Amino acid sequence: MAVRLVATTPGALVVVKPAGLASELARDPAADSLVRQLRADGHGDIRLVHRLDAGACGLMLVARSQAAAAHYTREIEARRWQKWYVARVARSFATARGLVGPHKAYLRTEGRVATVVRSGGKPSFLDVLLAAPAPDDPDTSHVLIRLHTGRFHQIRAMLAHAGAPLAGDRTYGGPGQWPLYLEHVVLGSHMDTTGAWTVWQGPPHEDRERWAPELAAAVDTCAATARTTPPPPDAAP
């Protein structure tokens, strides 16, 4: 499970984390993780500013200094990052297309599980932009998601609460005949060194072969739109 390098900047690395690899294992630094692999490749004192679940794959930005980490943390807290994901849900296309639209929930983390609650949780927002049939299974579909907040297991918990758990996500009620597929496909952020707005798009890989053509086109459109419409520098949560 090798990490793939997408871009190197003075303050950050942009990489693709493969599914099945932990972002970091603080209790066992010798165990395999994205952080361990990058340090073993000579990238030094790197710092995570966000994480992907071990079962998820896709783009991650890793800071190369304390100052860069502080910059990207501020970007995230101000919701200036733009993030899109693709997930396979355990619902037919006829059902999954009913998910299209904005979603809001209050999430509370209990142990290693996120729960949707009526009060006392953190406000969490995402938009489902598109649903497309999964070409290899009529009982599953792909959905394109824009994530506005980065809560623990947010996509998994919110889609399950909406009646469409991710296929393979047994933690949230998904059937187990498919491996979990959740990929961070597009990421936009202001650079820590210049402030320039930059957008990265995940490179093709074997999981993409199961995408419907309209989904691939929609992801390209999201990336192109993000490149021309950065959030204002004073964006607020």
Q: H or E stretch including 143?
A: strand 141-147
Q: Which of these is catalytic: 45, 53, 169, 220?
A: 53
Comparing CA positions, the residue from 96, 100, 84 lying closest to residue 200 is 84
* Encoded tokens for 125: 């927002």
- DSSP per-residue string spanning 44-86: -S-EESS---TT-EEEEEEESSHHHHHHHHHHHHTT--EEEEE
- DSSP per-residue string spanning 76-133: HHTT--EEEEEEEESS-HHHHGGG-EEEEEEEEEETTEEEEESSSSEEEEEEEEEEEE
Catalytic site includes residue 136: no
* Encoded tokens for 149: 């907040």
Residues recognised as catalytic:
53
